[in-house]
Structure 1
Amino acid sequence: MDNELRASWNRLCDTLKESAGYIFDPARGADASEQAEGLRHQLRMFFWAYDRIVENNDPDHPELGWVYPFKVGQDNPDAMYMTAPVDLSHTYRLTGRIDTLRYLGLSLMDHSFGRGRITQLVDVGSPDLTDIGDGRIDVVFSPDPDPGDHVGDWFQVEPHPCRLFVRQFFSDWASEDQAELHFECLDPSGPPGRLDPVRTSQLFDELAREVDTVPEFWTDFAGGQRDLGQINSFDHVPSHKVSQSAQGGSEKQSYGQCWYEVGPDEALLFEVTPPDCLYWNIQVGDTWYQSLDYVNLPTTMNDSQARLDPDGVLRVVISHEDPGIQNWIALGGCPQGAVTYRWNNADSAPVPTLRLMPFAEVGDSLLPDTPRLSADDRTALNAERRRHALRRFTR
């Protein structure tokens, strides 16, 4: 067994070394800075996969935990994502208080990214969860039917390999706090134990497969829009909600996305009348389909952070240089990547317009009475943003 354990470790190390080859593929058009970020992305994905596959992978004794930074699949900068292992031949209970955040989403789903369609067994959001008092929830996932006396929500689910995936969305970063959640298996098979060498070898091989496929899968997912010519335009996005559940998206949301290419002296003007919805956001990501630095820069914007013009239209400038207005999404020197918007629990799915223009012409494309921000104003906003983002992810 010692030889097999060592062999699985060596395979994992070799795979980690070789799996980054796609980052340096000239067809990606990634400059040296992007390649450096690509290597960091590879390590982040390894870190996330290790947490799920090795560290927190006991469905009898699950830990509902988060990984920071969670830079996976154009992660939402307004979110805290949490996961826990589940074996649906057992019964699980999620309790807690959720009244301080904008949205809580619960999904029971597998994580077969890059290996076929994602299966989602449950996809429910906080507007549809029962408040049992004082903003508290009591949710059960079980192979058994509801006995009829449970106060809260009960989901009878067929056994399927999966994890609980939790989305916490924060719109007003200053006033909305993390949910207080506790997740437990009510009928564990036995006590926790030490690692078994046979099982550990299997887990190392699974971890190797993950790091060899998933990071490149997400990169290809975003880059596919560039290959289709869906650049600096949402014209390809339908004006109705399209299910993204097979890719791991929530049925509670409508998504739209395109590839962007913006030079240092250029800007994109994003225009839309937002729908009536619980929450919305816009964000930018890089070549590797991970969010840009939202702690230190305004690389995302949501319904609490934006200003609508008097005509009800949202106008946002996406650029490397600060245009001196509230509605700015910063690219921070990243020349290409993905622009994504989300409408959460919306009554419609409007498609925004994008216009590429010289940065010098941005002012002429905004309403004349658009309020201006000074450099000091921006510094203060960025400092406040950083403080609240790091408060969310206490380290």
Structure 2
Amino acid sequence: MSLVLCNGLLGCVHGPPPEPSADTDALGVAFAELAANLQSVEASIRNSNSFRDPPEQVGGYRHVLRSLAKSLEAEVIQDADYPYFRILDFWLREGGDNPDQRYAFSPIRGGETYRVWGEMGSAVRVEIQIYAGRPWAGEGRSAGYLAFEDIEVSDDGSFEIYISPEKHAGNWLDSPEDATTIFARHIFDVWNDSDTGDIHIDRVGYEGARRASETPDELAVRIQNAAAMFKATAETWPAFVARRYVAATAPNTVTAPRDTYALGGVRGRWMSGGYFELDPGEALLLRLPASQAKYQGIQLADMWFASLEYGNQLSSLNTTQSVLSPDGAYYYVISQKDPGFANWLDSGDLLRGIFLLRWDGIVGAIPEDQFPTAREISLDDVAKQIPGFTEVTEDDRKRVRSQRRRHLQHRSHR
């Protein structure tokens, strides 16, 4: 089955777009490239190992559409001279996104000066990072990082950071010549009605400048860049899941924690995880010892590496939200059916998926006695396997889901 492209004026186009002739305008050539990438990506997704059953197929097409929306916003709408942050939230989920974080991205011109400003709100951490290229796709590097511990925050929770080639007083990050993207994170451990803060960006010297209209050639380049980003985004994550999880580990096991900085992550952030494959009557029980981390959390993602619904579904928890067992560890249960345990991660209708564990603020390495463990158990045995089993009711679940939804409405301004 091929993807069908429809346009209110031109009707529907089936099959690959026609080859542009030598005298075709730049916009036509660029749009044809985007259309061709849509069809090639659809074929790739349908041939993926992640496209196995109806829930995974729905996830696959949602992954394609989210990748397209993200790429159009990033490459066609955003502008490095007149920047606004693009927010990755529950609408456009990708890349193992953490439900406890609000991600903000903006293109920048390497070697130029930018001012980032905002408010902490109820976030426990704010971080700023510079990308050169696309390290998440293996095509670039993490070119700079400002940890929360290194950011001066005013008493009212506001902050200001300069990104420039020359050192600036106060909070500052170098702007290397190959820099392409600035990436900010607000990290939340409590989801409630409190103000969630905000973040903004300006290119210094352009705050009041008039933005000129773009030419057809300029827009064509933007469309071509969007086509390339769309293809990279849509094909990178299922391939990553297949390589990093399915081919590298057995199902229902957990890897040793590893430092993420070399992969475009941040200093002091360690991650672990695995993939679950469970029948409806089964559960995966994870044990996570308490650690020195300033933030520790766990979440679920689908086989396309997008976080599961997390506003109206309990698919993520951090240690602030979790119950600690008497043995000094956090136990988490992954299953389709609610086991009645406080630290339940709801996999929805997925029989397979990814689980991700994060530790932030790690100094040195995580000792082996704090490594996570995992084992598959019967859902009927959950209460017997967890020290100090803490039972919750469906009314408790509804209350928590309502709180999470309300927090996300504040956080996303939606």
- Please give the TM-score of this superposition, normalised by the length of structure 2: 0.87
Q: Structure 1: how far apart are the matches of 2:84 and 2:154? A: 23
1:7 matched to 2:24 = no
101-110 vs 206-215, which deviates more?
Answer: 206-215
Task: Single out whichever of 281-290 and 370-379 deviates more from structure 2.
Answer: 370-379
Alignment-derived partner of residue 16 in structure 2: none
Q: RMSD across aligned C-alpha pairs, in angstroms? A: 2.1
Identify which range, 6-15 or 173-182, moves more after superposition: 173-182
Shift of 1:247: 2.7
| Distance of 2:153 and 2:403 partners within structure 1 | 32
Shift of 1:264: 0.9
Instruction: Name the amino acid aligned to 1:48.
Output: K
Mapping 1:307-322, distance limit 5 Å:
307-322=323-338
Deviations 1:142-194 (A, max 9, x none): 11233xxx3x2122332113111111111101155322333211134963122
User: Higher mean Cα deviation, 180-189 or 263-272?
Assistant: 180-189
Distance 1:246 1:187, change over 3 A: farther
Q: Given the superposition, is the C-alpha separation of residues 287 and 115 from structure 1 closer, same or farther in structure 2, using an over 3 Å criterion? A: closer
Pairing partner for 1:136 from 158, 165, 168:
158
SS of equivalent to 1:76: coil
| C-alpha contact (below 8 Å) 1:259/1:336 kept by paired residues | yes
Q: Deviations over 1:301-346 (max 9, x none)?
A: 1122101012211111111110112110110011112110101103
Question: Structure 1 residues 138, 389: CA separation in 2 closer, same or farther (over 3 Å shift)?
Answer: closer
For 1:80-118, what per-residue CA distance to the aligned partner results, in whole angstroms no more than 9, with x for missing partners?
A: 111112113321112222253111111111342575343
Counterparts in 2 of 1:78-117, with a 5 A limit?
A: 78-98=100-120, 100-112=122-134, 116-117=138-139
What is residue 391 of structure 1 aligned with on the other side? 410
137-146 or 1-10, which moves further after superposition?
Answer: 1-10
Partner of 2:225: 206
Where does 1:1-395 land on structure 2 (aligned, <5 Å)? 3-25=25-47, 27-28=49-50, 30-56=52-78, 58-68=79-89, 69-98=91-120, 100-112=122-134, 116-146=138-168, 150=169, 152-174=170-192, 176-188=194-206, 191-224=210-243, 225-234=245-254, 236-238=255-257, 241-242=258-259, 244-347=260-363, 348-349=365-366, 350-367=370-387, 369-395=388-414
Distance in 2 between the 1:294 and 1:7 partners? Answer: 40
Cα distance, 1:285 vs structure 2: 0.5
SS at match of 1:293: coil
1:101 and 1:178 in contact (8 A); partners too: yes
The C-alpha deviation readout for 1:42-85, integer Å capped at 9, x for no partner, is 110111111111101x2221112314423111100111111112
- Does structure 1 retain, via aligned residues, the 8 Å contact 2:50–2:238? no
Q: Distance in 2 between matches of 1:310 and 1:177?
A: 34
Which consecutive unaligned segments of at least 5 residues does structure 2 have? 1-22
User: How far is 1:290 from its partner?
Assistant: 0.4
Q: List alignment gaps of at least 5 residues for structure 1.
A: none
Change (3 A) 1:114 1:163: closer
Q: Please give the alpha-carbon distance, in whole angstroms, between the structure 2 residues aligned to 1:115 and 1:383.
A: 36
Distance 2:223 2:133 in 1: 17
**Kindly tell me: are residues 370 and 183 of structure 1, through their superposed partners in 2, closer, same or farther at Cα, counting changes over 3 Å?**
same
Aligned length: 385
Using the TM superposition, give the Cα deviation of residue 2 of structure 1 relative to its aligned residue in structure 2, in angstroms.
Answer: 6.0
In structure 2, distance between residues paired with 1:394 and 1:99: 13
Cα deviation digits, residues 276-295 of structure 1 (max 9, x gap): 22211100100100001111
The one-letter code of the counterpart of 1:62 is P
2:108 counterpart SS class: strand
Structure 2 CA distance for partners of 1:115 and 1:366, relative to 1, 3 Å: closer
Aligned-partner Cα distance in 2 for 1:343–1:385: 21
Whether the 8 Å contact between 1:258 and 1:339 is mirrored in structure 2 is yes
Residue type of the alignment partner of 1:362: V
CA contact (8 A) 1:110 1:119 kept: yes
Seen in structure 2, the aligned counterparts of structure 1 residues 246 and 2 have a Cα distance that, compared at 3 Å, is farther
What is the aligned-residue identity percentage? 25
How far residue 12 of structure 1 moved from its aligned partner, in angstroms, is: 0.9
Are 1:283 and 1:299, in contact at CA under 8 Å, matched by a contact in 2? yes
1:176-218 residue CA offsets vs partner (Å, 9 max, x unmatched): 5322333211134963122221122122122112222222211
Distance, in Å, in 2 between the alignment partners of 1:161 and 1:346 is: 26
